Amino acid sequence: MALNIVNKIDQLIKIRKVLISLSDKSGLENFVKSLLKINKDIVFYSTGGTYSALKEFVETDNLVAVSEYTGQPEMQGGLVKTLDFKVYMGLLSETYNEAHQEDLQKIDGINFDLVAVNLYPFSKTVKAQDCTVELGRTNIDIGGPCMLRASAKNFLRVLSVCNPSDYNSIIDEMKVNDGKISLKTRFAMAEKTFNHTAEYDKNIFEFLKKSTVDDMSACYEKGDK
């Protein structure tokens, strides 16, 4: 299979469609309201608790549940919310690839410009003295790292944001660039994102490495299937 090599990109990308799913919601309201002040037509696509939080201060026209966008319900316990072809085509599609844009049109999809995601608090959870293997396992985020990695890979046209500490600098840049984000910033945020997901995976590995099968078995009743 031939590699998909890009040869044309935009230095500045206007933020219009935002995919947002946050475990740490600090700074959320100010960030979202600031984005809307810059561009009143921005639409936020969200899930679960983040969607519920956004409903408190975002107008209906500016907010879409990911399940409504994909046409797929969330799995019980939030295990599957964003792992959907329609989501990832919108993250990985390329602006000047006509086939990509035609495929998006076929499924009534959109291009996401900004992904704001932070992950289940795995490290904080497993540091607790009473943390079991099962509690640690449950706090392994799957959809979050996938969205972050996809958006960071496509920094050519997508801004990946994994830390609330970056919200203010992003807003400041958009204010002076007519709601747009530079390639320089997209590249820097991609670097930060891949470092973040690498550390997250390393923490999971280290937790499992120091655990045992006996530790795990102690968490469960024996099933009969």
Residue 7 lies in a domain: no
DSSP secondary structure code for residue 80 in this structure: S
Residue 160 belongs to some domain of the structure: yes
pLDDT in tens, 121-177: 888 888 988 888 888 998 999 999 999 999 999 999 999 999 999 999 999 999 999
Q: Give the separation between CA 180 and CA 171, rounded to whole angstroms.
A: 10
Per the CB < 8 A criterion, the answer to whether 57 and 33 are in contact is yes
| Domain assignment present for 24 | yes
84 found inside a domain: yes
- Domain range for 181 is 12-217
Looking at the domain assignment, is residue 225 inside a domain?
no
In a domain, 224, yes or no: no
Bridge pairing between strands 17-22 and 114-118: parallel
- Asked whether residue 6 is domain-assigned, the answer is no
The CATH number of residue 204's host domain is: 3.40.50.1380
- Look at the block and give the residue holding tokens 């709601």: 179
How many separate domains does the chain show? 1
173-205 pLDDT per residue, tens: 999 999 999 999 999 999 999 999 999 999 999
